[in-house]
C-alpha cells in the first residue's frame, strides 16, 4: 500500500506527512512506516533516499536531503527547538514572545548516512558523503566525507569508492538497467 501516491515515492499506512504541499520529492524515495514529516517550511528530498521508521523531521524551518542519502531509524531532524538555558519558558502552549526558540535550516549533502537514534540540531550542514554514527547529537557543521560520532571526527569515508560506485550506477541506469532494488 502506498499511502500518499506521490510519484517516485513509496510510503506506507503509518507514514505521516503534514504540509505535503511544501515538500519537493525526488524519485526512488522510500519513507517507512511511523515516520513523521511536519513541513511548515520548504523541504527538499533528493533521489534514491531512504528515511527509516520512527524518524521525525520537524521544527518549522527548511530541510534539504541530498541524493543517495539515508536516515536510519529513530532519528530526529530538528530545524527548530527551544533553548532551555536562558530566559524562555519552552513549550508550544506559551506565546512565542515568552519562548527562546531557535529555528534554522538543516542540509544533508549527497551520499550522507545518519546512524540510528541520532539527533541533528538546527542550523547544521552535513557535508557530502559524511557519515554520522548511531546515537549521535550533531550540533555543528560536519565536513564532507568525514566519519563522525557526535561532533567528533573519527575517520574519513572512502570518497573515491563512493563516487566510483555512483558513476557505475549512472552508467548502468543510462544503458537501460533497472534502477529498482533487486
Residue 87's pLDDT band (cuts 50, 70, 90): low
Q: Residue by residue, what is the 3-state secondary structure of the chain?
A: CCCCCCCCEECCCCCEEECHHHEEECCCEEECCCCEEECCCCEEECCCEEECCCCEEECCCCEEECCCCEECCCCEEECEEECCCCCCCCCCCCCHHHCCEEECCEEECCCCEECCCCEECCCCEECCCCEECCCCEECCCECCCEEEECCEEEEECCHHHHHHHHHHHHHHHHCCCCCCCC
pLDDT in tens, 146-176: 999 987 899 999 999 999 999 999 999 898 8
Pairwise CA distance, residues 74 & 54, whole Å? 5
The 10s digit of each residue's pLDDT in 20-44 is 999 999 999 999 999 999 999 999 9
| Domains identified in the chain and CATH numbers | 9-174 (2.160.10.10)
**Which of these, 46, 5, 48, lies nearest to 30 by C-alpha position?**
48
**pTM for the whole thing?**
0.91
Q: pLDDT band at 12, cuts 50/70/90?
A: very high
Range from 29-33, 89-93, 102-106, 132-136 carrying the lowest mean pLDDT: 89-93
pLDDT of residue 182: 41
**Pairing relationship of beta strands 56-58 and 36-38 according to DSSP bridges:** parallel
Amino acid at each position: 500500500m502506498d499511502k500518499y501516491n506521490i510519484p517516485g515515492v513509496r510510503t506506507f499506512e503509518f507514514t505521516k506527512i503534514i504540509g505535503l504541499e511544501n515538500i519537493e520529492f525526488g524519485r526512488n524515495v522510500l519513507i517507512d512506516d511511523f515516520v513523521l514529516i511536519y513541513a511548515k517550511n520548504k523541504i527538499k528530498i533528493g533521489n534514491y533516499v531512504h528515511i527509516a521508521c520512527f524518524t521525525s523531521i520537524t521544527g518549522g524551518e527548511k530541510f534539504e536531503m541530498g541524493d543517495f542519502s539515508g536516515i536510519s531509524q529513530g532519528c530526529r531532524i530538528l530545524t527548530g527547538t527551544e533553548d532551555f538555558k536562558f530566559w524562555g519558558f519552552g513549550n508550544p502552549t506559551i506565546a512565542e514572545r515568552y519562548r527562546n526558540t531557535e529555528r534554522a535550516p538543516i542540509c544533508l549533502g549527497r551520499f550522507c548516512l545518519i546512524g540510528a537514534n541520532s539527533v541533528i540540531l538546527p542550523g547544521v550542514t552535513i557535508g557530502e558523503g559524511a557519515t554520522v554514527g548511531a546515537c549521535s547529537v550533531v550540533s555543528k557543521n560536519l565536513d564532507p566525507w568525514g566519519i563522525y560520532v557526535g561532533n567528533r571526527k573519527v575517520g574519513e569515508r572512502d570518497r573515491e569508492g563512493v563516487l566510483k560506485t555512483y558513476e557505475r550506477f549512472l552508467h548502468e541506469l543510462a544503458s537501460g538497467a533497472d534502477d529498482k532494488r533487486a
